[in-house]
Chains A and B, each alone.
Chain A
Amino acid sequence: MPAESLSFIFLNAALANNFVLALFLGLCPFLGVSGKLDTAVPMGIATSFVMLVSSISAFGINWILTSLEIEFLRLISYIVVIASAVQLVEMVLKKFSPALFHSLGIFLPLITTNCAILGLALFQTFKEYDFLQSLAYALGAGAGFTLAIVLMAGLRERLALANLPTPAQGAAMSLMLGGLLSLVFMGFAGLGGQ
C-alpha cells in the first residue's frame, strides 16, 4: 500500500492527472453534455456520486475476490456494480427532478459506459489504495471531472457565438478546445506523481 497522503491523492486525481484531460477517461459525456452549463453541472455531480458509490463497492468486492482468489471475475463484478449504481441515481433523479432527468436524456444511462468510473475502480485496485485513500481518489476524480466538463461548457457557450467557417462547426472545434484545455492542465503536472 503506497504511503501517499490523502490531500495529495485528491489533488493528483483532480488536477495533475485529471481524468478527462490527462487520462482521456469519460470523453463521451465530456463532448456530449458540455453544450450548456445548465446540464453540465448536474451531469458532473451525478457522475461524481456514481464514482463515490462504485469506488466504495469496488473496494469491498476486491477484498472479497482476493480472499477467495477469483480475481479474474473482477471486471465483470465491477461493471455489474456500476450499472446498479447508475440505476439508483436514475431512479432518484426521476423521482425528485423529472425536468433534469429529461434534459440529461440518454447520457444518464450511458454513465454505465462512462470509462471514467470503471477506470477509477480499476486504477484504485492497481494502486492498492486502502479504504480512505480510495475515497479521496474517488472524490478527487469526481471533482476533476466536474471541473473539466463545466470549464468546457463555459467555453462552448462562448464558441456558439463565434463566427466559424462551416467545416469547423461541430465536433472538430470542440476537440481543439479540449486540446487547449488539456494543454492548460499540463501546467499542473509538476504538482503530482504519476
Chain B
Amino acid sequence: MSLHNPHIDWQTFTDGLWKENPVFVMLLGMCPVLAVTNSAINALAMGLATTFVLLASGLLVSLLRHQIPKQVRIATYILIIATFVTIVDYLIQAISLELYNALGAFIQLIVVNCMILGRAEAYASKHRVAKSLLNALGMGLGFTFALLCLGVVREVLGAGSLFGVDLFGSQFEPWVVMVLPPGGFIVLGGWLLLFEWLRERRAAAQLEKEAARAR
C-alpha cells in the first residue's frame, strides 16, 4: 500500500484543501454551503458530517471497486452514500437535538451533495483504499474550511457574535441581511471575488518575474 511508499502522495490530500477546493474552485455542493452557514457552529457541524460521509463512502466504494458492475455504479454509489447519511442523521439527533433542529433537512440532503458522488465516481472508484481515504479527508477538510469561511463572516456581521460569543457589545447594529438567504449568496460571491483577484495578482507577478529573467 502507498503507506510503505516514501513518496506518499500528499498532493492528493492537499489538493482538496486549496488547489481543488470543492467549494471555492469547483463550485460543488453549493446548497449546504449557502443554507447552513448562517452561524459558525452550524457550518462546522455540517462540514464534519459531510467529511464523515465522504470518508466512509470513499472507503466502501474503494473496497468494492472491482465488484460493482459498471452499468449500475451510480445507483450503487448513491445507495452507499444514503446509508451513511442515514447513520449521520441518527447520530446527530442522538448527540445534540438543538443542532439537529438547526440543520433541519440539510443533514439528509447530504445525500445529494454532488461533491460526494463526484469523489466516488472520479476518485474512489479508481484508486486504492489508502489513497481514496486521503483524498476524501482532504476534500472534506477543504469543504469544512470553506463552510467556516462563510459561517464566520456571516455570523460576525449578521449577529455580532462568533460561535455564539458576543463580540461587539450592545451598541452593535447587526446586518440582519447577512444571516438571511441573500447574505449567503453575497458573502460567497465576495470570497470568490477575493480569491480570483489574488490568483490574478500572483499570475501577473509570475509573468513579470519571467520577463525580468528573460531580459
Give residues in A with beta carbon < 8 Å to B: 21-28, 31, 72, 75-76, 79-80, 83, 109-110, 112-115, 117-119, 122-123, 126, 166-168, 170-176, 178-180, 182-183, 186
Contact = CB atoms under 8 A, between A and B. Distances in A.
Contacts of B108: 75, 118, 122
Given A24-B34, A168-B193, A126 B200 contact: no
Task: Pick the 3 closest A-B CB pairs, nearest first.
Answer: A179-B185, A175-B189, A24-B35
Contact of A80 (B30, B34, B35, B79): B79
Nearest to A72: B86
**SS class, residues of chain B in contact with chain A:** helix
B207 interface: no
A118 B185 contact: no
Interface in B20-64: 27-28, 30-31, 34-35
A26 B78 CA distance: 17
A110 B114 contact: yes
Given A114-B112, A172-B189, A175-B192, A76 B86 contact: yes
B186 interface: yes
A113 B114 contact: yes
Contacts of A23: 35, 181
Interface in B85-127: 85-86, 89-90, 105, 108-109, 111-114, 117
A151 to B, nearest CB: 14
B75 A176 contact: no
A24 B34 CA distance: 7
B31 A115 contact: yes
B167 interface: no
B196 A22 contact: no
Contacts of B181: 21-24, 182, 186
Contact of A172 (B28, B90, B177, B196): B196
A179 B109 contact: no
A102 B180 CA distance: 37
Nearest to B87: A72
B185 A182 contact: yes
A122 B107 CA distance: 11
Contacts of A175: 185-186, 188-189, 192
Interface magnitude class on chain B = 35 or more
A43 to B, nearest CB: 16
Contacts of B182: 179-180, 182-183, 186
The binding surface of chain A is classed by DSSP as helix
Contact of A76 (B79, B113, B190): B79
A178 B86 CA distance: 31
A113 B192 contact: no
A122 to B, nearest CB: 5
Contact of A186 (B86, B105, B114, B180): B180
A169 to B, nearest CB: 8
A185 to B, nearest CB: 8
B177 A25 contact: no
Given A113-B114, A114-B112, A171-B192, A26 B105 contact: no
A171 B33 CA distance: 15
Contacts of A171: 27, 192
A115 B109 contact: yes
B31 A27 contact: yes
Contacts of B112: 79, 112-115, 117-118
A119 B90 CA distance: 18
7 contacts: A28-B31, A72-B86, A115-B112, A119-B109, A170-B196, A178-B189, A186-B182
A28 B30 contact: yes
B140 interface: no
